[in-house]
Amino acid sequence: MVLKTEYLIDERGEKKSVVLSLQDYLRLMEYLQDLEDSVDLKKAKEAARGFKEFNKVVHRLKLQGHLR
């Protein structure tokens, strides 16, 4: 991801802040959210125990009369 950045500098010429376009900011936020989701998914997969296949759960619920 390439972001066009501008810097705000202080009176000594040191960079103090970054200015991003709204579009770049939103892209960056979306990228960070996707990254966070992938970390959460990895943790969930590592901690997963006792999951059943979707089709088997649906079949069981139909047999119990909870689904048609």
Instruction: Enter the pTM of the model.
Output: 0.60
The answer to whether the beta carbons of residues 7 and 18 sit under 8 Å apart is: yes
For residue 52 the two structure tokens come to 């059943």
3-state secondary structure (DSSP) of residue 5: strand
Tokens of 21: 């376009």
Segment 40-62 mean pLDDT? 91
Domain boundaries, the chain: 5-63
| Integer Cα distance of 65 and 46 in angstroms | 33
pLDDT tens digits along 1-41: 888 889 999 999 999 999 999 999 999 999 999 999 999 99
What separation in angstroms does the CA of 37 have from each of 16, 32, 43, 67? 30, 9, 10, 31
